[in-house]
């Protein structure tokens, strides 16, 4: 069977190349977040406390929760991750998917943790704090 030649295929190739690059970057971020979970969790909780984003009565408990989230990100289904970050997907241009996920986790789920007293700041402030730590793996 003859193959149909599309004159605009160079555009499609470019789009496909960009999509492949983003998917490789996403897989790399998820892999590195699992490998460096303990180190990143310590830095992340410290940054959130230093910037007065979270108030907690047990830093080790929050560190453990964040470490668990970082470890399990690579095992999540893509749909579940996309569903979680959908409300803030357009928060910043060229976002880090792991930072988006953790930002959403902090604002939606961590707030209900027994050891969290309060969470301060808007989505952008939380994302900025989280991404400043996770930029190490980018």
CA-CA-CA-CA torsion sign (126, 105, 66, 64): positive
pTM of the model as a whole: 0.85
Q: Which residues contact 38 (CB under 8 A, 6 or more apart)?
A: 67
> Using one digit for the tens of pLDDT, what is the confidence trace for 11-69?
788 888 888 988 898 888 899 999 999 999 999 999 999 999 999 999 999 999 999 99
- Which H or E run contains 41? helix 37-50
Q: Is the dihedral of CA 105, 107, 112, 117 positive or negative?
A: positive
Q: Is 80 exceeded by the pLDDT of residue 85? A: yes
Of all residues in the chain, the percent with pLDDT exceeding 90 is 70
């Amino acid at each position: 069977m003859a193959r149909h030649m599309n004159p605009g295929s160079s555009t499609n190739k470019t789009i496909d190349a960009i999509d492949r690059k983003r998917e490789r970057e996403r897989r790399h971020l998820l892999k590195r977040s699992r490998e460096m979970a303990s180190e990143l969790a310590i830095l992340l909780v410290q940054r959130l406390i230093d910037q007065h984003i979270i108030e907690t009565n047990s830093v080790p408990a929050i560190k453990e929760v964040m470490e668990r989230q970082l470890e399990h990100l690579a095992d999540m289904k893509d749909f579940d991750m996309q569903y979680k970050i959908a409300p803030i997907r357009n928060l910043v241009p060229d976002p880090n998917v792991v930072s988006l996920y953790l930002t959403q986790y902090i604002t939606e789920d961590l707030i209900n943790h027994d050891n969290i007293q309060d969470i301060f700041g808007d989505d952008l402030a939380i994302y900025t704090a989280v991404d400043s730590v996770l930029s190490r793996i980018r």
